[in-house]
Amino acid sequence: EEEEEEEEEKEEAAVEETEEKFLTKEESSELGPLEALLKECEQSPENVKTVSDEIKKAKDPNSKKNSLTIEKIGEGTYGEAYMCDNVVLKVVPISDEKKETSANTKRGKENVENGAEEKEGEEEYPQMVASEIRAEVAVAKRLTKLQPHLVAPKAKNVTDGFVPLDRVAICKGPYDKLLLKAWESFDFRKVSENENPSMWPKDQLYVVFSTRNGGIDLENFNLHDCKEAFSVLLQITVALAVAEEACGFEHRDLHWGNVLCKRDKVDLENDSTRKARLNGVDVTLDTYGVTASIIDFTLSRVEIKDESDVVFCDLSLDPELFEGPEDDAQSETYRRMRKALNNQWGASCPQTNAFWLHYLADTLLTKKEFKMSPNQKQSLGKFRMNCLQYECAADAIWDPLFAGMWSSGRK
């Protein structure tokens, strides 16, 4: 116990020292990107706390337990995702812009699975820089504003199809011990592809995203039949269409790990429908008891105010992303996007959303198992092909696959 107390005192001292360093006037004048990130997070330098402090805010106030239940639930190249009670925390180590020596070339473990090889001399464990993570924060905040409880009563575009951002904060200091235990437990069970976070320095900067629990990713979710599968596709399609119309949104990385699904209680009081509004038209969708939502906006594009105020990730700096196998649907989708955009990633091209709907349809056909008749399988196959011709997600709503699954009426 004495050793643990001594170690905690050392960590607290390190935190105090690094917080003081962060707040010096000389350094703050050089940290333009970090200052911009602080502003995006609506946070002052004085409020930069530790990851441990941020975790305490995740505790369910209605819980009778004295301690948090923490479990690591996922990972990407740039961060780790944890379930804390019923709150999801995404913890992303970041670096100052001026410390970045080369382009970040890996965009998640899916690239490793797709056969992309690591080049000699490449940074093995890259960090996002402040400007990159600021873009992700801005996209998440903009999409959260489309939530039904946050929009104006007569708003033309409304959707709850994106997992909303409840809170985001910059933190500094050592990695939290409870998170480390959860990380090691995950690594023992599944073998993590990331380095143990204990390797990060005591003065490391992090961005911590706090969101609601959107469910299980599509890769691991058990679909019972084609009604559920087609409904998941429809819900994702409508969410993309609403965001396209509202803010020029393109996800640009909508693989099956970024679609979350959960089963809803369906009874006399809770029907199996979901509502959205697209360009002033109310849309009611059949969910068949499964709710689907979209997460992870690291590579996304969005217009914050108008077309002159665009946030995006420049994937031209990430050539390895496009080097996956030719017969892999996800790798082909990245290449289709690059061709459609002519490698100009700030441009608007909502067809990229249709490309990802093609990918999701292909994934349902080739990687998921559920009850489906030959005719239903044929319809899904036609949808997959049609998505390559659609100019945006909104076009896909009218596909014959979704006939009878939604209704509309002008607000």
> What residues are labeled active site?
253
Residue with structure tokens 């960090």? 127
- Residues 260 and 42: their CA atoms lie apart, in Å, by 28
Residue 289 zone, left/alpha/beta (φ > 0; ψ -120 to 50; rest): left
- Residues 305 and 287: their CA atoms lie apart, in Å, by 32
| Residues in Cβ contact with 279 at an 8 Å cutoff, skipping those fewer than 6 apart | 156, 157, 245
| Residues in Cβ contact with 12 at an 8 Å cutoff, skipping those fewer than 6 apart | none
Q: Let me know if 11 is exposed, middle or buried by CB neighbors in 10 A (0-12, 13-18, 19+).
A: middle
- Residues 282 and 202: their CA atoms lie apart, in Å, by 51
Instruction: Indicate the DSSP class of residue 98.
Output: G
In 3D space, the residue among 312, 314, 184, 201 whose CA is nearest the CA of residue 251 turns out to be 312
Residue 349 zone, left/alpha/beta (φ > 0; ψ -120 to 50; rest): beta
Cα distances (angstroms) measured from residue 324 to each of 112, 331, 338, 367: 9, 5, 13, 18
